[in-house]
Structure 1
């Protein structure tokens, strides 16, 4: 089995507490599944705040990058950031994320297929639902925005977490899943998606 083939790319998706509470589990799974991506791992977890912090800080640069991005977003909108320290800003973001993520059960999933990371990101939509395209999960099912979330002093509610890069996906999958919890199997549709020659269709 040639595991270097693009069809073996994997990514992590987490349906967040708001997605669970709004009964969108089936809809979220359907959106990814109908592209041809394969679900190879799934479980429901009630994360602790410590688990959430560990998840977001798997990348040691996460705090710096997230803080800088968030501060720049304030400036791009003509707003004055609370301060100029990206680490302090990311600590505030993380505090809100921990409270949000640990508020109830989540569903962690691993999806596999060619370009899995980018396909899932495209289907999921942008981080801010108000600006997400119609047709994406966040664009179709969420009305939240950074402004409303900031006014309410909480994390933005956007239904789903999706890995941002292949490297990030590997770190996150290894954190949320044991090797034996991921299943290698073949779907009949795999032949239509990936086989070089499509045989035995006509009788």
Structure 2
């Protein structure tokens, strides 16, 4: 069983995060809490790569479609279809267009409860309703309402794995084993050493 301090998660700074010059700020947020960056690369993903990413979960399209239909109805709007698969496909097409619009920065972060911590720091999917203090809450003002009105994906700066299972599937989709570094950083002594030995001279 993997020790919690070795847990890894995927985070991707999307094209709007690059264009807003927020790469350094986003990395800083994750580093400050004590996570270790073990994988990093910048490139323009293909539509095929983005589609495969979201369909790593075979039920993704249906679940996203159901959530979108519910969101439309809560806001008193008529969904484009009552078929979750059709609505999910519309969402997927919007995401492909959004994420392939320019370079992205893909990252793998490692540390205690990495999946949960990165999600918490990143904030909710919709920037408008994300808490102040989260990356999305502090640096983006987009909303489902605006995205739906413009027939596009909501611009929320970052993708972050939602569960351990997602992270385990997503990391090898974006990174080969050779692209992930194994190394130590000094702060791990403070974060993880049981007795904090060796501080005093």
Shorter-chain TM-score bucket reads over 0.9
Corresponding residue number in structure 2 for 1:128:
126
| Alignment correspondent of 2:137 | 139
Q: How far did residue 127 of structure 1 move?
A: 0.5
Q: Which structure 1 residue ranges, 5 or more long, are not aligned?
A: none
Which residue matches 2:58? 60
* SS of match in other structure, 1:80: coil
**Distance in 1 (alpha carbons) for counterparts of 2:93 and 2:153:** 9
Number of the residue aligned with 1:167: 165
Cα distance in 2 for residues equivalent to 1:77 and 1:197:
53
**Whole-angstrom distance in 2 between the partners of 1:171 and 1:123:** 21
CA offset digits 1:39-63 (Å, max 9, x no partner): 0000011111111111111111111
Q: Deviations over 1:24-51 (max 9, x none)?
A: 0000000001000000000011111111
Count of residue pairs brought into register by the alignment: 201
Task: With the length of structure 1 as denominator, give the TM-score of the two structures.
Answer: 0.97
TM-score by length of 2: 0.98
- Aligned-residue offset at 1:180: 0.8
Deviation track 1:82-127 (CA, whole Å, cap 9, x = no partner) reads: 2210000010001111011001000000000111001000000000
Shift of 1:80: 2.4
How far the C-alpha of 1:128 sits from its partner, in A, is 0.5
* Residues in 1 aligned to 2:76 and 2:108: alpha-carbon distance in whole angstroms: 39
Give yes or no for the alignment of 1:191 onto 2:189.
yes
CA-CA distance at 1:72 after TM superposition: 1.3
Q: How far did 1:74 drift? A: 1.7
Q: Secondary structure of the residue that 1:42 maps to in structure 2?
A: strand
Report matched runs for 1:24-173 at 5 Å. Answer: 24-173=22-171
* Rounded Cα–Cα distance in structure 2 between residues aligned with 1:166 and 1:78: 35
* Offset, 1:195: 1.1
| Aligned structure 1 segments of 4 or more residues deviating by more than 4 angstroms | none
Superposed CA RMSD in Å reads: 0.9
Whole-angstrom CA distance in 1 between matches of 2:5 and 2:158: 23
Which is worse superposed, 119-128 or 191-200?
191-200
SS of aligned partner of 1:111 = strand
Give the match's secondary structure for 2:39.
Answer: strand
